[in-house]
C-alpha cells in the first residue's frame, strides 16, 4: 500500500480523491501510466515531501566496490551527510585508510592513499578558479546520489515521459560557466515506483559528466533512503558501487569535527595551487572498516 501511495502521489498530488482526470486510479486498484504528462509542480511536490523531513543520514557500514579502467578494488568505511553541505566519506581496507572525501559550508576536499598522497581542497566560492585539475570525485556528487536534497522551484524543470519512467530536466551552469543539463529519473512502476532511480549531469552537447543510479532502497526508521547506489564518472573511467548499511536518519552521531578538513596532510588549494610546508601524517582508522 505504501508503494502504491508513493506512485499515486507522483501522479495525483493535485488530484487526490478525484474519480476522474488524467491521474485517476482505475477500479482495479492498480496504477496505470498517466494519459497525459504530469506537471512539473506535481512531480517536485511529490519528491520533496519526504526529503523535507530528512535533515541528516549516517551509515556505519559502507561497502564500496570501485573500478577505474581495468583496475578493481573493494574498501569499507563510513558516510555521514547533514544538509545542506556537511558530508564525510572515509574508506579503508586491512586497517589502512585509502580515501577521505568531505565538505562543509565553506569548502570541500579529497585525499587518496596513492602517489604523493596529497590532499586537495577548495573553497566553494573559489571553485570557478579551479581549472587546472580534473576532480575525480566531488562530495556533492555522492551527497546528491543519496536523493535527499530538495528540488528547487518547479518552473525550472521540464517533464519528459519514457518507458515506465519519468525525467525531470533542468538547465544549469558549472562554476566555470559551462552550460550543463541535469536529468533526474523517477521510476513509474516496480519496487521503486515513485522514487528517484537515477541522476545525470551532461554537457549541452549531451556528453555525460557524472551519473548515479539507485538500485535498491531501504526503510530506516520509517524513512525510505537508498541502500545500493552506482556512481559513474566516464571522463575518469570510474565506477563506484556503494552498499549503505547501519543507517541512522535524523540521529547523527558525527560531531562538528567530523565535517572539518583534516590538517595533517600535505595539502594543495585547487584555486591557488599552493602547497603548505610539512609532510603527511597518519590518521585514525576508519570506523566500519574490515578487521
User: pLDDT, tens digit, for every residue of 125-174?
Assistant: 988 887 655 665 667 778 889 999 899 999 999 999 988 999 999 999 88
The two beta strands, 56-68 and 238-249, are: antiparallel
Nearest Cα neighbor of 60 from 85, 40, 80 is 80
**Residue-wise pLDDT tens digits, 202-232:** 999 999 999 999 999 999 999 999 999 999 9
Give domain 56-269's CATH architecture.
Clam (2.50)
**Residue-wise pLDDT tens digits, 225-282:** 999 999 999 988 899 999 999 999 999 987 889 999 998 888 999 888 754 433 333 2
* pLDDT over threshold 60, residue 185: yes
113 burial (CB, 10 Å; 0-12 / 13-18 / 19+) is middle
For 181, the enclosing helix (H) or strand (E) is: strand 179-187
For residue 288, the model assigns a pLDDT of 33
- The pTM of the full predicted model, rounded to 2 decimals, is 0.79
CA distances in angstroms from 196 to 51, 144, 147, 183, 215, listed in the order given: 11, 11, 7, 11, 10
For residue 69, the model assigns a pLDDT of 86
User: Rounded to a whole number, what is the distance in angstroms from the first to the last CA of the chain?
Assistant: 41
Domain residue spans of the chain:
2-38, 56-269
CA-based max dimension of the chain: 72
User: Do the beta carbons of residue 226 and residue 217 sit within 8 Å?
Assistant: yes
- Model confidence at 68, pLDDT cuts 50, 70, 90, reads confident
**Residue-wise pLDDT tens digits, 73-93:** 899 999 999 999 999 999 998
For residue 272, the model assigns a pLDDT of 82
How many alpha carbons lie under 13 Å from residue 263 in its C-beta half-sphere?
2
**Residue-wise pLDDT tens digits, 12-22:** 322 322 323 33
Please state the three-class secondary structure of 61-72 as a single string. EEEEEEEECCEE
DSSP single-letter state for residue 264: S
Amino acid at each position: 500500500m505504501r508503494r502504491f501511495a508513493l506512485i499515486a502521489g507522483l501522479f495525483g498530488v493535485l488530484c487526490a480523491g478525484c474519480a476522474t482526470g488524467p491521474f485517476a486510479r482505475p477500479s482495479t486498484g492498480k496504477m496505470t501510466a498517466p494519459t497525459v504528462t504530469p506537471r512539473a509542480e506535481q512531480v517536485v511536490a511529490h519528491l520533496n515531501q519526504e526529503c523535507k523531513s530528512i535533515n541528516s543520514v549516517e551509515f556505519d557500514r559502507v561497502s564500496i566496490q570501485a573500478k577505474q579502467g581495468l583496475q578493481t578494488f573493494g574498501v569499507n568505511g563510513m558516510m555521514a551527510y547533514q544538509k545542506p553541505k556537511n558530508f564525510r566519506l572515509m574508506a579503508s581496507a586491512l586497517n589502512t585508510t585509502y580515501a577521505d572525501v568531505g565538505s562543509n559550508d565553506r569548502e570541500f576536499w579529497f585525499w587518496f592513499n596513492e602517489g604523493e598522497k596529497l590532499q586537495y581542497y577548495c573553497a566553494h566560492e573559489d571553485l570557478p578558479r579551479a581549472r587546472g585539475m580534473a576532480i575525480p570525485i566531488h562530495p556533492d556528487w555522492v551527497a546528491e546520489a543519496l536523493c535527499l536534497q530538495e528540488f528547487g522551484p518547479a518552473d525550472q524543470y521540464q517533464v519528459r515521459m519514457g518507458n515506465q519512467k519519468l525525467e525531470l530536466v533542468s538547465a544549469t551552469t558549472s562554476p566555470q560557466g559551462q552550460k550543463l543539463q541535469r536529468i533526474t529519473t523517477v521510476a513509474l512502476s516496480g519496487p521503486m515506483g515513485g522514487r528517484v532511480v537515477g541522476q545525470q549531469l551532461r554537457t549541452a552537447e549531451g556528453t555525460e559528466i557524472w551519473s548515479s543510479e539507485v538500485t535498491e532502497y531501504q526503510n530506516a526508521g520509517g524513512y525510505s533512503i537508498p541502500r545500493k547506489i552506482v556512481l559513474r564518472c566516464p571522463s575518469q573511467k570510474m565506477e563506484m558501487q556503494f552498499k549503505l548499511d547501519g543507517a541512522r536518519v535524523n540521529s547523527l552521531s558525527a560531531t562538528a569535527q567530523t565535517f572539518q578538513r583534516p590538517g595533517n596532510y600535505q595539502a594543495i588549494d585547487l584555486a591557488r595551487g599552493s602547497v603548505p610546508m610539512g609532510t603527511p601524517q597518519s590518521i585514525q582508522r576508519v570506523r566500519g572498516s574490515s578487521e
